[in-house]
Structure 1
Amino acid sequence: MTNDEFDLLDELYFVQHYSYLKDTLGWEDDQLLVTLQSLFEKQFIKCLYEPDEEVFDEIDLKAKAKDLYYLASKKGLMNHNAL
């Protein structure tokens, strides 16, 4: 797990919107998008349309990321806490 992935997972113990993550971490869009994509591919995060509506279909994060909410998955939390 990279330092960026670790830092992002720190913010995802609770559902957070993209804009919150960007503001809190102070990252540029490219850095945040790459890190979200990496965590999503590892199944370390869940993507949500709304705080209580998970995305189950395939999703293009580059196109939709700014409109979504995120939450660490159980797998992501286990890996985050193992470090």
Structure 2
Amino acid sequence: MTDAEFDLLDELYFVQHFSHLKDSLGWENQLLLKTLTSLYSSGLIKCLSSPDEERFDQVDVYSEGEDLYYLATKKGLMAHNAL
């Protein structure tokens, strides 16, 4: 896990919108989208359309990511806490 992935997972113990993550971390969109994509493809986070509506289809984080919410999965929390 990269430092960026670790820092991002640290923000995802609770559901967070893309804009909140961007403000909290102070990252450029490209870095945030790249890191979200990496975590999503590894099964460490899940995407949500709204705070209570998980997306079960395959999400293209690069094209939709700025409009979504994110949350660490159980696998993601365990990986984060193992470090």
1:71 is paired with a residue of what secondary structure?
strand
What percentage of residue pairs aligned between the two structures are identical? 66
Aligned counterpart, 2:12? 12
Aligned counterpart, 2:66? 66
The two structures have a TM-score, normalised by structure 1, of 0.99
What stretches of structure 1 move > 3 A for 4+ residues in a row?
none
- Please give the alpha-carbon distance, in whole angstroms, between the structure 1 residues aligned to 2:14 and 2:6: 15
Deviation at 1:59, TM superposition (A): 1.3
Aligned-partner residue type, residue 51 of structure 2: P
Deviation at 1:58, TM superposition (A): 1.0
Match runs of 1:19-58 below 5 Å: 19-58=19-58
Match runs of 1:68-83 below 5 Å: 68-83=68-83
Structure 1 gap segments, 5+ residues each: none
Aligned-partner residue type, residue 11 of structure 1: E
Structure 2 gap segments, 5+ residues each: none
The two structures have a TM-score, normalised by structure 2, of 0.99
2:43 is paired with a residue of what secondary structure?
coil
- Please give the alpha-carbon distance, in whole angstroms, between the structure 2 residues aligned to 1:67 and 1:47: 10
